[in-house]
Structure 1
Amino acid sequence: MKLAYFGFPHRGGTYTVYRLLRDELAPFGTELCWIGTGEAAHRAIRDPAFAAELAHGFVTGMATDGEQAQARALVNALEAGGFDGVIVSVLADRAQTNAMRYLAAPMLRIMIVHNITPATYAAARAIRDHVHATVGVSPRIRDDLVRSYGFDDGHTVAIPNGTDLAEHLPAVRPFVAHAPLRLLSLGRIEDVAKGVFWLPQILEALPADITLTIAGTGPDAERLRALAMPLGARVRFTGEVGPDAVDALMKTHDILLAPSRFEGFMITAVEAMARGCVPVVARIHGVTDSIITDGADGLLFPVGDWRAAVAGILCLERDRPLLHRLAAAGCWTAHERFRADLMASRYHTLIRRLAHDRPPIAKPLSFDHWRMAGGLRPGLRSYLPSPIKNVLRVLRERAVS
């Protein structure tokens, strides 16, 4: 079977999922190719860092195409390329998501939902009737879609994201009784989702010998630098981190600190656990608590409660045997539950089932009547000031946890 994956090479979670699925589905006889469109996709194929990826996909249309032309180019490429189906990460790109409503009837189509935000759910609802199956990357997403957005219980599944752990077999770190703790924040530096502005508050409340490395880039990096300035050398910013540097960072830090307001999944927690770096992260119902068992292989604290994060880190600072036990247990959790081959096997099972039992879906729309689905257009919530949205997100998570 030949499937397309809407997207293009970039340093991000949706492309990492594609790359792992591509490699792991190949032994099952499924060829997975990426297809991109639009200005960003054309820019990506000129980036030398992604040269090797050009063997696995292609870009359609012109860099200056509008959304309708982008969608038409994608649909034409699928038909001309002999593809049997397509996988789309909802809302990763608006034109690509909307194109699912215009695909030819025989084309198998699977939607992946990567986040728990109302905007993501609205976009998923907009194309719900034009896909044969939907994958939520966490149990929370799957349950929300079925319970509140009318998704078919029999064709909506939870498949956790996986990661390549082949080179990181479970290995217990040497026990260290008294060395100062080294904290790590890794990922996009952005406060609305990731809660990064709480990091300086957390560190300030901890003993002065505890340090924090903030690895990554993002729109709030400069403001976070300013907030962290009074902490001096206790905070180190690395800037952009390539995939090759992640292993060393996690192996040289004791705790992954993630005070996120919302996530669809938290692959950095899995990657940290596999390397013996203990996750201390916000409890996001059906998401982070589906990865981490509090007190067994990591610690969870209520969303927005930075003082509880401090208490958890202090507990590990004082109880080094506990830190050691959590690190060892986390290694096994990652390898037993979140390997890339397990993720691919679950997708293969879904694809094979759909090949024999494909549910009826809505008829494809005509490009002569192109329009963007309502759920893909900005809603009233998008105009709320960020501080108000942040409060609402914290209250929502407190209510469901």
Structure 2
Amino acid sequence: MRVAFDASSIGSGLGGDETMARALVRALVRGAGPDDEIDLLFAAGVQPDVDRASAHVRATVEPRSSGPRHFLRDLPRWVGGLMPTPEVLVSLTHAPCGGGVPVALMVPDLSFEHLGDAFPRPTRLRLRSIVRRQVRRAAGVLTISEFCRSDLISTYGLGSDVVHHVPLHVDPPEHAPQADELDELRRRLDLADPFVLYVGNLHPRKNLPAAVDAVRGARRRCPALADHRFVVAGATWWGSEAHPGGADDWVRFLGRVSDDDRHLLVHAAEALIYPSRFEGFGLPPLEAMARGTPVVASNATSIPEVCGDAALLVDPDDIDGMADALVRATTDDPVRSSLIAAGHRRARHYSVERTAHGLWEALRAIALEPAPIPAPTR
């Protein structure tokens, strides 16, 4: 089977979208059989990180263009020029306008349908208009949790056989960091005190002000946490969000961090807090679990599905409950030990092999009975 994959979002700096693309490419290559062939499209400046020994992989590198130009011109031109013709193209969020290849459209979540006020109006209208239309035109739809699969079926009236669940995976750490690595990180980032960590962008749906209030409450009610900082590792979204928490000097905003620093921060944190109101998957809790860091997370959307019993789950509007959970996760030794053990088990469940199996199973089903490809509109 020949599969094409638009991996041009890798290197874009788009946070979770880029992480998802990397995970899917890795799983696609890992799960390929001896008769499978893969075409990958990367943006210029990105070093393709694929194991070419496990499958026949061809990587094309082209300059990254703007969203409309990419989907209207560059992606159709690339996929239309591939020989032999792929049996299916994997495209993320939006599909190409043309190309003549059945599309497996990855839609990671429908937050723009349910939390419209969290998006700039032009973005909200664009996503609602285009995604609604393209999921019906696609040969099949991929998504990253059972929650999102059900949401796509109910929101857009899609058939249950059209929407396929492909879970993401978390990479186990290659090694536990040495003490000198953590000391150097603390010096470089001025993190002398113990800290609670948030990892992710600052999109309004992430509910970061609630996390600030919860850490503030935990510091006030528990003397053992009075000197803890709250460290936020993630970039603003659309460049418009103000940093919540005002001038509190115990709240540190690091902006986007490198993968290496992210790994060290998660290891060094006393706990990870993840208060999001809407997630298609929610990878940071699993990253924390894989590194032995207790997790406090919201009980909304896909997060309970992903975290299972390995996190303390709280209503995203329950600030007091979130503060209490932080106190337990950081100071109650039996609770902390239980979360760490359960977290390691949960992280192992989300392996790259599981992602690869789900992805290839979905693509083979889509290629076997693809939906008709509508004629391009003029």
Q: Secondary structure at the match of 2:103?
A: strand
Give 1:235's aligned residue.
Answer: 251
How many angstroms apart in 2 are the aligned matches of 1:318 and 1:66? Answer: 47
Q: Secondary structure at the match of 2:89?
A: strand
Contact map agreement 2:197 2:230 (CA 8 A) in 1 = yes
Give 1:108's aligned residue.
Answer: 102
AA partner of residue 212 (structure 1): F
Give 2:172's aligned residue.
Answer: 165
Which residue, out of 77, 90, 96, partners 1:99? 96
Q: Secondary structure at the match of 1:205?
A: helix
Contact map agreement 2:77 2:99 (CA 8 A) in 1 = no
**In the alignment, structure 1 residue 182 sits paired with structure 2 residue 189:** no
Q: Secondary structure at the match of 1:280?
A: strand
**In the alignment, structure 1 residue 7 sits paired with structure 2 residue 8:** yes
How many angstroms apart in 2 are the aligned matches of 1:73 and 1:86? Answer: 14
Q: TM-score, normalised by structure 1?
A: 0.73
How many angstroms apart in 2 are the aligned matches of 1:187 and 1:66? Answer: 23
Relative distance call for 1:221 and 1:189 in structure 2 (3 A) is farther
How far is the alpha carbon of 1:34 from its aligned partner?
4.1
Give 1:127's aligned residue.
Answer: 134
Q: Secondary structure at the match of 1:212?
A: strand
**In the alignment, structure 1 residue 205 sits paired with structure 2 residue 205:** no
Give 2:300's aligned residue.
Answer: 284
Contact map agreement 1:129 1:361 (CA 8 A) in 2 = no
Q: TM-score, normalised by structure 2?
A: 0.77
Which residue, out of 183, 196, 203, partners 2:208? 196
Q: Percent identity, aligned pairs only? A: 21
Listed as ranges, the matches of 1:321-336 within 5 Å are 321-336=334-349
Contact map agreement 1:135 1:158 (CA 8 A) in 2 = yes
Q: Kindly tell me the number of residue pairs found equivalent between the two proteins.
A: 327
Q: Secondary structure at the match of 1:224?
A: coil
How far is the alpha carbon of 1:288 from its aligned partner?
0.1
How many angstroms apart in 1 are the aligned matches of 2:164 and 2:326? Answer: 35
**In the alignment, structure 1 residue 343 sits paired with structure 2 residue 355:** yes
Give 2:370's aligned residue.
Answer: 359
AA partner of residue 88 (structure 1): S
How far is the alpha carbon of 1:325 from its aligned partner?
0.9
AA partner of residue 370 (structure 2): P
How many angstroms apart in 2 are the aligned matches of 1:303 and 1:109? Answer: 36
How far is the alpha carbon of 1:343 from its aligned partner?
0.5
How far is the alpha carbon of 1:66 from its aligned partner?
8.7
Listed as ranges, the matches of 1:221-232 within 5 Å are 223-224=242-243, 227-230=245-248, 232=249
How far is the alpha carbon of 1:353 from its aligned partner?
2.6
Q: Secondary structure at the match of 1:154?
A: coil
Give 1:376's aligned residue.
Answer: none
Give 2:91's aligned residue.
Answer: 88
How far is the alpha carbon of 1:59 from its aligned partner?
2.4
How many angstroms apart in 2 are the aligned matches of 1:229 and 1:243? Answer: 28
AA partner of residue 229 (structure 1): A
Give 1:173's aligned residue.
Answer: none
Give 1:304's aligned residue.
Answer: 317
How far is the alpha carbon of 1:122 from its aligned partner?
5.3
Relative distance call for 1:56 and 1:277 in structure 2 (3 A) is farther
Which residue, out of 14, 17, 23, partners 2:26? 23
Higher helix share: 1
Relative distance call for 1:334 and 1:121 in structure 2 (3 A) is farther
Contact map agreement 1:5 1:87 (CA 8 A) in 2 = yes
How far is the alpha carbon of 1:235 from its aligned partner?
2.7
Q: Which moved more, 1:252-261 or 1:8-17?
A: 8-17
How far is the alpha carbon of 1:166 from its aligned partner?
6.4
AA partner of residue 110 (structure 2): I
How many angstroms apart in 1 are the aligned matches of 2:270 and 2:240? Answer: 23
Relative distance call for 1:53 and 1:330 in structure 2 (3 A) is closer
Contact map agreement 1:181 1:317 (CA 8 A) in 2 = no
Give CA deviations for 1:211-269 in whole Å, capped at 9, x if unaligned. 222112215798327x3423x2x333333211122221111112111221211111111
How far is the alpha carbon of 1:210 from its aligned partner?
2.8
How many angstroms apart in 1 are the aligned matches of 2:28 and 2:251? Answer: 41
Give CA deviations for 1:260-318 in whole Å, capped at 9, x if unaligned. 12111111111111111122111113x0010122xx31111112222221121123344
How far is the alpha carbon of 1:160 from its aligned partner?
1.7
AA partner of residue 99 (structure 1): P
Q: Secondary structure at the match of 2:243?
A: helix
Q: Secondary structure at the match of 2:167?
A: coil
What is the RMSD of the two structures over their aligned residues, measured on CA atoms? 2.9
How many angstroms apart in 2 are the aligned matches of 1:181 and 1:324? Answer: 18
Relative distance call for 1:66 and 1:151 in structure 2 (3 A) is closer
Give 1:249's aligned residue.
Answer: 265
How many angstroms apart in 2 are the aligned matches of 1:76 and 1:217? Answer: 33
Relative distance call for 1:193 and 1:329 in structure 2 (3 A) is same
Contact map agreement 1:113 1:136 (CA 8 A) in 2 = yes
